[in-house]
Amino acid sequence: MEKSNNSTQFEEDIRQSFGVPKIRSEFVAQLHGELIKRAVEKTPKTIPSFRLRPAWIIVFAVLSVMIVATLVIGPQRVFAAVRGLLGYIPDVGIVDNSVPIRVLAEPVGVTRDGITLTVTSATLTVDRTHIDYRIFGVPGSAYPDREDVMGCTQSEYLRLPDGTQLTRMDNDFQPVPAGVNNAVFVVPCIFNTLPGTVPENWELPLSFVPAPPDLAVMPVIELSPSPQASLLPDATALPESAGTSTALVDSAVTVNKVIETEDGYILVGQVQPQSKSGETTQITGDLEIRDASGKVVSYTHPADVSQEIAGASTGGTGWAVQFKAAGLVYPLTIRFPGVYLFQPDPSATAGFTFDAGPNPQPGQEWSPNQDIQIAGHTLKLVSIMADSRGGYSFRFQVDPEVYSASVQIEGSTPNGGGGGGGGGLTNGEFNVTLSYAQIPSGVLTVILSNLTLIGDPLTWQGQWSPTSPRADLPANPTLQPGVCLTADSLAQLEPAPSTLSNGKALLYEKLDDTGKWGLVLYNLDGSQKQVVVPAGNWGALSPDGNRVAYSATDNGIHIVDVTSQTEEILPGAGGFNLHWSPDGKQIAYVGMGDGVINSVFVINTDGSPGRQVSTWSYEAVIGWSPDGTQLYFVAPFTGGAAWKVYAYDLGSGAAQERFTIENGTAKFLNPKLSPDGNWIAYRGRDNSSLYLVRTDGSDMHLVLDNAGAVGIEWSRSGWLGVSLRKANSDESSTVLIKPDSCEAYLLPAALQGELEGLFIP
Amino acid sequence: MRESSISLTFDKDLPRTEERQIIQTARHDPQAFGELYRLYADQVFRYLYSRLGNVHEAEDVTAQTFLAAFEAFDRFRQDGNFAPWLFTIARNKAMDHFRRNKKQEPELSEEASSTEDEPLSSVIQSEQALALSRLIQGLPEDERELLRLRFLAEMTYGEMAHFLHRTEQAVKKTIYRLLARLQSQLEVSNGKIK
């Protein structure tokens, strides 16, 4: 692969002629921080560990300077004020409740060329207008057939009778003025569709009326911080960490808003890491909540108050959690883990030389494996690589105390750079990348400085209690009918009996030695580990458990014979989300083709031509009926607002709409059909719970409540296997459940990763 | 090429191999998207600045680009074509920006480059580059876009082909011819100056 860095002076002159200034490092760090924040919010259920980047050091260093007061919360010192101005409406968020709220008089929909656009609800407050709308029926051919092409991105808006346009502000629109009870919802085009492929300029007239008295608007209690403040925290030993040097920084976690929900609370707050002079701090994980009895409180991150977090402006990092409150003992203690970072000797430097040659090329790599001493520590320079941005990337292995160091090439001024890894905080490595207008060549002297070490671990904490006890909640947690497991009850599960040990589980997991991910087959007792696919994804175990189909890195569908390890490639098929037919002769998958993006196809495993099942986009296969005559799949309303369930008859080629899943996650629904063809299991909107619903849409109920559900697989014998991601951890566990009886077992800890296949005879 | 003084391995595809690994990690760990951002922040900014001609707006649209890419990343499937995908978003964001602001894309000019924040002398450092700037200013937009993609976005020919819906050979041929023409015109221009 050639790159443009085969730089001649002429090419460099062309770059210069565009007059592009150097990107500001502050901007780079700021945007990186925003992306990481969103990534943390996006990470289902838990944030295993923050990526540790220099940008975070900058962010927290700045914050530590900004923070001049420790805001203290606690049952004795909290001043709570119910202002009565803010209210919380589920799925809408926190709104200004000071003037009467209006809502949509009735849903409005219009269908054009088979595409239906429906405004299902609207909530009008003095500060914003929340519109819920959904679109269904956009053919795949309307979208670019290549992912490198984007279609229309024009944003929708509200047009008032006087012609005023109310545009988007984040997720909502500008407020509709009081007294204006009509507006037109205008959608210039359906997002990402190509010009001329589907109707454009959609206009739906909306009417607004006063909200009904039963509209659930929960009061938002705003907490004012205590006037008591101190510049520096007191560090004391953390009781449960006796024997370690973990320090506890009290009162650095604050709660700003409290919402009483039907079964618990939503808390919105901030963590404000602080550091002493000469030190910086680093948050290293997501928060943990324990009640006064020491019990860990499981929580979710509510998406509808995300704007409150983003709007946190008093310094610190915003957070929001939602949890059930039955049986909790107050106060709750909220903790964030972190570490101190410091430079043992800011003046210490070290250097080495390497010969890059006269014309270093992108991808060219040197492996010096050279030990470099600086400030009493040894940094092993593992490799240097010339990159495609006119610079070099230096990779170091370090001892557990080292976090990072600065790298410079003597005599050359970089115009950009970056780095990653947190040394001893991550995998004992960090890297530094430097970019130059003209890549330095020849014998280069490289200087290391600013060695940063990892200090003692610390914990930022705060406490919170409700101002008055809830009389409306049961004294102890009670499971809803049909719920088999919660995050709290996992630890009580028994191991699977030996009668199940002859089964097999296919997991997509991080491979031990390489750091890469692959497909691994286990016996259910954890024995007979077999790496079936060292580089592939979307595995599916054949009905007899002897073959694994997977999506290869080239997007092709490959089949591996587990016993012989022979592999075949299905000609002409490319995609993911693979599902074997009951007889093992066909595979349904989601793929791309002429005019379709992520639609459902069926391919014959003997290599003969298959068929296209659907023509919408971004679909997911649910599974085959037991007799193999019907294939169930879901098609999302645009944006994943809901999912329509279809049954495709392979005999007639007709797809019949069955019902709509309203409470599924938009991100990875992972629907799976039970082997008797009666139930569909899928992930809930919290990205953590698991629901079951019958294939006619009836009897929808929760089975795993906020348990971290990710991988879902049924065995032919009716066991439901689910891989569960643990809160605050990289770890996961796998459970087997009989949903009708809630008989459940915990599979051995060796079965880590995402469950992608289950075979139990 | 002279052999390095320390052990040398050479793999032209290594940077993209590394990128693929990051992409695969990011599918499971959204925070790994930060690594992709690190890889491309500079190129995206340069590309957008060259279209918008203003640091503030280029930063704004760069942020929009990465945030949109982050939100849409779940739907990105072609691991080997991240750059074309990302720059398609960047290009569309730039076009949205023009539509919103109802203004024309700035011509590549000394004026565009010589804002108060970024004086021309600090960024265009040679007479050669100034002369080139004038020549490029006179190019049709599609040819200017080719130069932006190649020299600011740092795309490979394969990536450009993917981005532009053309064959790699066609892109390569066009770029070579364009560079040859510019070089020739530059020599004529320099001759006139002399």
Q: What is the pLDDT of residues B87-132, one digit of tens each?
A: 988 888 887 777 666 444 444 433 333 333 332 323 334 566 667 7
Confidence of residue B29 (pLDDT cuts 50, 70, 90): confident
List the single best residue of B59, B77, B114 to mutate versus A (max A Cβ within 10 A).
Answer: B77
Interface of A with B in 530-549 (CB under 8 A): 537
Q: Is B78 on the interface with A (CB under 8 A)?
A: yes
Please judge whether B28 and A517 are an interchain contact, meaning their C-beta atoms are less than 8 angstroms apart: yes
Using a CB-CB cut-off of 8 Å, the residues of chain B touching A53 are 34, 38
Element at A289 (helix H, strand E): strand A288-290
Please judge whether A39 and B30 are an interchain contact, meaning their C-beta atoms are less than 8 angstroms apart: yes
Domain boundaries, chain A: 1-7+17-87+220-474, 98-210, 485-759
| A67: pLDDT strictly greater than 50 | no
DSSP code string of A639-700: GGS-EEEEEEETTT--EEEEEEESSB-SS----EE-TTSSEEEEEBTTSS-EEEEETTS---
What pTM does this model have?
0.63
Chain A closest-CA separation from residue B191 CA (Å): 17
Q: A735: helix, coil or strand?
A: strand
Residue with structure tokens 């569960």?
A: A724
Beta strand segments in A400-544, E: 402-409, 416-423, 429-435, 443-464, 485-486, 494-495, 504-510, 517-523, 530-533, 536-541
DSSP code string of A466-495: -SS--SSS-SS--PPTT--EEGGGGGGPEE
- Return d(Cα B139, Cα B116) in angstroms, integer: 26
From residue A431, give the alpha-carbon distance in Å to each of A12, A399, A450. Answer: 27, 14, 14
- Return d(Cα A576, Cα A538) in angstroms, integer: 6
Q: Which residues have a Cβ under 8 Å from the Cβ of A522 and sit 6 or more positions away?
A: A504, A505, A507, A528, A529, A530, A750, A751
The CATH class for the domain spanning A98-210 reads mainly beta
DSSP state of A412: -
For residues A2 and B66, the model is more confident at: B66
- Return d(Cα B34, Cα B39) in angstroms, integer: 9
Q: Where is mean pLDDT largest: A142-146, A206-210, A248-252?
A: A206-210
Tell me the CATH number of domain B124-194, given options 3.40.50.150, 3.40.50.300, 1.10.10.10, 2.70.98.10: 1.10.10.10
Using a CB-CB cut-off of 8 Å, the residues of chain A touching B189 are none
pLDDT of residue B84: 85
Using a CB-CB cut-off of 8 Å, the residues of chain A touching B15 are 3, 362-363, 385, 387-388
From residue A476, give the alpha-carbon distance in Å to each of A84, A264, A294, A554. Answer: 30, 12, 15, 52
Fold for B13-106, please state it.
Rna Polymerase Sigma Factor; Chain: A (1.10.1740)
For residues A421 and A547, the model is more confident at: A547
For residues A711 and A223, the model is more confident at: A711
Q: Which residues pair with A589 in a beta bridge?
A: A601
List the single best residue of A145, A148, A282, A433 to mutate versus B (max B Cβ within 10 A).
Answer: A148
Tell me the CATH number of domain A485-759, given options 3.90.800.10, 3.30.360.10, 3.30.420.40, 2.120.10.30: 2.120.10.30
DSSP code string of B69-138: HHHHGGG---GGGHHHHHHHHHHHHHHHHHHHHT-PPPPSSHHHH--SSS-HHHH---HHHHHHHHHHHT
ipTM of the complex: 0.81
Q: What is the mean pLDDT of chain A?
A: 82
Using a CB-CB cut-off of 8 Å, the residues of chain A touching B87 are 148
Q: Is A50 on the interface with B (CB under 8 A)?
A: yes
**Of the candidates A273, A453, A422, A94, which has an alpha carbon nearest to the alpha carbon of residue B31?**
A422
Instruction: Tell me how many residue pairs between chain A and chain B have CB atoms under 8 A apart.
Output: 241
Identify which of B37, B43, B88 has the shortest CB distance to residue A35. Answer: B37
**Of the candidates A425, A229, A269, which has an alpha carbon nearest to the alpha carbon of residue A337?**
A425
- The answer to which of A523-537, A727-741, B83-97, B100-114 has the lowest mean pLDDT is B100-114
Residue A540 · residue A579 · CB < 8 Å: yes
- Return d(Cα A305, Cα A287) in angstroms, integer: 17
Interface of A with B in 471-510 (CB under 8 A): none
| A237: pLDDT strictly greater than 60 | no
Q: Is A15 on the interface with B (CB under 8 A)?
A: yes
| A606: pLDDT strictly greater than 80 | yes
Q: Which residues have a Cβ under 8 Å from the Cβ of B35 and sit 6 or more positions away?
A: A51, A420, B22, B25, B26
pLDDT of residue A513: 59
- Return d(Cα B136, Cα B114) in angstroms, integer: 16
Q: Is B8 on the interface with A (CB under 8 A)?
A: yes
Domain boundaries, chain B: 13-106, 124-194
- The answer to which of A269-273, A737-741, B82-86 has the lowest mean pLDDT is A269-273
- Return d(Cα B44, Cα B40) in angstroms, integer: 6
pLDDT digits (tens, 9 = 90+) for A645-694: 999 999 999 999 999 999 998 878 999 999 999 999 999 988 889 999 99
| Residue range A632-642: mean pLDDT, rounded | 86
Residue A305 · residue A429 · CB < 8 Å: no
Q: Is A732 on the interface with B (CB under 8 A)?
A: no
For residues B158 and A106, the model is more confident at: A106
Q: Is B41 on the interface with A (CB under 8 A)?
A: yes
Residue A673 · residue A700 · CB < 8 Å: no
Q: What are phi and psi of A216, to 5 degrees?
A: -75, 105
Please judge whether A357 and B156 are an interchain contact, meaning their C-beta atoms are less than 8 angstroms apart: no
Omega cis (within 30) before A331: yes
Chain A closest-CA separation from residue B124 CA (Å): 5
Q: What are phi and psi of A690, to 5 degrees?
A: -125, 135
Please judge whether B46 and A592 are an interchain contact, meaning their C-beta atoms are less than 8 angstroms apart: no
Residue A445 · residue A424 · CB < 8 Å: no
What is the chain B residue with the closest CA to A639? B72
- Return d(Cα A752, Cα A289) in angstroms, integer: 25
